Amino acid sequence: MQEIIVRTWNELQHELYKDSWNGELGRFRSRCAFRGLSDAGYRLETTLIRLRGSFMELENHLLRNFKKYAHRNVVSGNSIWHWLAVAQHSGLPTRLLDWTYSPFCAMHFATSDLDKFDTDGAVWAVNYVRTHRLLPESLKLPLEQEGANVFTVEMLSESVKTLDELAGLCEAPFALFFEPPSMDDRIVNQFAFFSVMSDPKAVLDDWLVQHPQIARRIIIPAKLKWEVRDKLDQANITERVLFPGLDGLSRWLRRHYSPRQDGMTENQIPADLRFFGFPQKASNE
């Protein structure tokens, strides 16, 4: 698996959009799923795995009780995939991982935690087309019939009825990506979709190491995070947009007005940035 350490904003953009040219379409269309992590040391563990203990035994109990107590009108369908999507989106520990089609959204999540600004971050880029070439034949077929690169919950619902059935399709673990229903503005604004492993105890980065041509990990050094963060804010890639509502607005304002903690002085700012008038006085607007 390829790991790249970028040094500048321009290098970061180059790596995020690398190999995005699609000759068949004559367009720049990346086939990567992106996931931003505030700490490059974090693994691609699901929230279910992070429960530790006998988490595999808890999966069915969590889902059963979520279905029992959740209002039925929050789910647009009654398949396991509809329920998993809503449960993950609502914060229930599941075997799903959140991804985005947007490299800028991934950069946001790699730089949104101010407590991690002394730590290198990372953006994972996983080619979902290459990932799906490794699927069991019974799952490749619906993608080919639809001419699709990523599953919808409806497509999965027709092909796989239960999680046990998913695991039984192949002895070796496999991964797939699917899009949730556009259940609210957060899903839409984050350009979000999910990955799932057929084996709930399998960690995706272990699987990716076995298939090194599928993924890249782009390291954002701690010293670059402030520049990335400020430029994302200027581009309106913020909590206010990605988490519509008062909670997102409050999260954005809290971070936006937090003072910089590393005490960078003007002499430490790169010369090309000082040329444009950095550092600027803090604005109260």
- What pLDDT, on the 0 to 100 scale, is given for residue 167? 93
Question: Could you give the CA distance from residue 243 to residue 98 in angstroms, rounded to a whole number?
Answer: 14
Residue 53's pLDDT band, with cuts at 50, 70 and 90, is confident
The pTM of the full predicted model, rounded to 2 decimals, is: 0.89
Question: Could you give the CA distance from residue 259 to residue 267 in angstroms, rounded to a whole number?
Answer: 19
Question: Could you give the CA distance from residue 44 to residue 37 in angstroms, rounded to a whole number?
Answer: 9
What is the DSSP annotation of 216-233? EEEEE-HHHHHHHHHHHH
Taking residues 22-46, report their average pLDDT.
95
Element (H, E) at 36: strand 32-37
- What pLDDT, on the 0 to 100 scale, is given for residue 276? 36
Q: What are phi and psi of 276, to 5 degrees?
A: -90, 15
The first and second tokens of residue 184, run together, are 């609210």
* Mean of pLDDT over the chain: 89
Q: What is the pLDDT of residues 162-202, one digit of tens each?
A: 999 999 999 999 999 999 988 889 999 999 999 999 999 99
What is the DSSP annotation of 140-208? HHHHHHHT-SSEEHHHHHHH--SHHHHHHT-SS--EEEEEPP--SHHHHHTTEEEEEESSTT--HHHHH
Q: What is the pLDDT of residues 69-85, one digit of tens each?
A: 887 666 667 889 999 99
